[in-house]
Structure formats: C-alpha cells, structure tokens
C-alpha cells in the first residue's frame, strides 16, 4: 500500500510538472511585465531540468542585464554563443554588456601565424567543420569508385586528380577539426560575477594581491587547487581566485 501511494504521488508530481516550453512562456511573460527577478528564477529552473538553448541563454542574459547583474548577463550571453556562435542578437548584446565593464584590457599581440590559425579554425563551429569534412570525404570515396570502376581513361584521369586533391583536403580538414574540438574541450573560460575581486599571487587567502578585476571580465582557466582556480587575463597576467567568484562558460 505504501509503495502504491509513493507511485501515485510521483505520478501526480510529474503530471502537474511544467514542461520547459511552458516555463519559458511563463518566464517570457514575466520579463515583458518587467518582473525580471522572477523571470530569472524560472529561466534557471528550465536550465535545472537539463534543457538549454541559445534563446534561453539570450533571454536569461537580458533579464540579468535589466537587473544590473552585468557579470551574470555576460556569462549567459557567452554560454549562448558557445551553442550558436553566429547569433547576431547575442553578439550585439554581448558587445553592449562588455562596453559597460570596468576593466579595459589590451590583449598581448600574438604572432601573425597564430592569429591566422585561430581565425581559421573558428570560422565554423565543430558541427560546421564536421559537415565540410564529411562532404569532402564522400567526394574522395566517389573519386576512388570512379577510378576503379570506370573503363574510360579520361574519367579515370579526372577521378585520380579529384581523389588526390580531395585526399589532401581531407587531411587538412582533419587537422582543423581536431584543433577545433581540442579548443572547445580544453580551453575553458570564466566570467567574474562579483563586482570586484583581488586576485592572489598564490592559492591562499593570506597571499599578496596580484591584481584587481571587476564584474564581467573574461579570463581563461588554467589550474585548480582546492577551492582556488588559476586564471590568465588576455594581457598575460596570472592570478588565483576562488571558485565561487566566477561562472564557467
């Protein structure tokens, strides 16, 4: 009888639980009514259910921006762009939010070929490069098939040339795709969500201050010791901050 009661209770909770779409609609209405605090609560509830999208992060970022929480706004815009790098609304709002940040740091100049390589691999997302790789690979396979099964020498010559070129392109695309995947999985970034923070020279509250950073600044994450994370700014400065002071993109 007890098991039956628990099963019925669980079924009732699931029955009345709102779907992500229903929660999104509710949060959007609250946003339109300028009730940003409750809208944020519901948007985060959608995320807690395991649902995420660039639209959700865009709306959540906007709600945080309206609430004056710049760090959280930038964090969510960045998360949205990670899912959809070409979203013009996210790109525009992120620029607006970044313009409000206190820290204006100039990036350390990189060697021209490093800049060129990073620009190349980030032209498309991982899925974009994967699609291009698959298309060229199929062209390579088709060229092989024509070369071996065609009885016309002219077609064999064309197939050989096409196969040679497509094979070279496949190898190049494989390297680019590997680099793009490696960049996505190994290069982690964070956004400071506190108004200001004194980064430390070492992972210890009693250590000397390395530099001061402010809400919304973006940095790369390099190492972790307990509750402390080693960060690197775009100008090359390195320091340690506590894990709860930032959000991971």
Q: Residues 179-194: pLDDT tens digits? A: 988 877 776 899 999 9
Amino acid 14: pLDDT? 43
| Cβ count near 140 (within 10 Å) | 19
170, 132 Cβ separation under 8 angstroms: no
Measured distance CA(172)–CA(34) in Å, rounded: 51
Q: How many CA atoms lie within 13 A of 135 on its CB side?
A: 6
CA of 152: how far to CAs of 95, 129, 162, in Å?
58, 34, 15
pTM for this one? 0.72
Listed in sequence order, the residues at least 6 apart from 146 whose beta carbon sits closer than 8 Å to its beta carbon are: 155, 156, 158, 159, 162
Mean pLDDT, residues 164-182: 94
Residue whose pair of structure tokens reads 């509750």 in the numeric block: 227
- The more confidently predicted of residues 33 and 119 is 33
Cβ-proximal residues to 127 (8 Å cutoff; 6+ apart), any chain: none
What are 209's strand-pairing partners?
Answer: 200
Decide: helix, strand or coil at residue 160: helix
Mean pLDDT calculated for residue range 40-45 = 96
Predicted confidence at residue 150, as pLDDT, reads 87
Tell me: pLDDT of 45 over 70: yes
C-alpha dihedral sign at 199, 203, 206, 208: negative
Q: Model confidence at 202, in pLDDT bands (50, 70, 90)?
A: very high
Residue 186 has what pLDDT?
72
Better-predicted residue by pLDDT, 106 or 145 = 145
Identify the pLDDT of residue 187: 66
**Whose CA is closest to 125, among 95, 78, 86?**
86
| pLDDT, average across residues 36-58 | 94
Q: Note whether 235 and 219 are within 8 A (CB).
A: no
Residues 72 and 168: their CA atoms lie apart, in Å, by 44
The share of the chain scoring above pLDDT 90, in percent, equals 71
- Of 84-93, 113-122, 142-151, which gets the smallest average pLDDT? 113-122
pLDDT at 10 (0 to 100): 41
pLDDT band at 107 (very low <50, low <70, confident <90, very high): low
Question: What pLDDT digit, counting tens, does each position of 216-237 carry?
Answer: 999 999 999 999 999 999 998 9
pLDDT, tens digit (0-9, with 9 covering 90-100), for 56-79: 999 999 999 999 999 999 999 999
pLDDT-derived band at 162 (thresholds 50, 70, 90) equals very high
Q: State both tokens at 227.
A: 């509750």
CA distance 114 to 117: 5
């Amino acid at each position: 009888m007890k098991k039956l009661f628990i099963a019925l209770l669980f079924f009732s909770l699931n029955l009345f639980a709102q779907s992500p779409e229903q929660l999104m609609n509710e949060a959007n209405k609250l946003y339109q009514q300028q009730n940003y605090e409750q809208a944020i609560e519901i948007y985060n509830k959608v995320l807690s259910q395991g649902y995420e999208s660039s639209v959700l992060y865009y709306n959540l970022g906007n709600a945080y921006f309206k609430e004056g929480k710049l760090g959280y706004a930038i964090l969510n815009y960045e998360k949205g762009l990670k899912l959809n790098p070409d979203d013009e609304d996210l790109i525009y709002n992120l620029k607006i939010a970044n313009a409000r940040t206190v820290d204006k740091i100039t990036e350390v100049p990189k060697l021209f070929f490093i800049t060129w390589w990073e620009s190349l691999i980030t032209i498309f997302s991982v899925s974009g490069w994967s699609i291009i790789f698959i298309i060229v690979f199929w062209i390579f396979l088709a060229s092989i098939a024509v070369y071996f099964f065609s009885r016309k020498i002219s077609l064999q010559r064309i197939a050989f040339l096409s196969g040679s070129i497509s094979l070279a392109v496949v190898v190049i695309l494989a390297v680019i795709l590997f680099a793009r995947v490696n960049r996505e999985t190994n290069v982690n970034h964070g956004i400071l969500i506190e108004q200001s923070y004194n980064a430390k020279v070492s992972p210890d509250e009693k250590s000397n201050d390395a530099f001061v950073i402010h809400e919304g600044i973006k940095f790369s994450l390099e190492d972790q010791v307990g509750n402390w994370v080693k960060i690197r700014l775009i100008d090359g400065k390195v320091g340690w901050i506590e894990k709860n002071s930032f959000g991971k993109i």
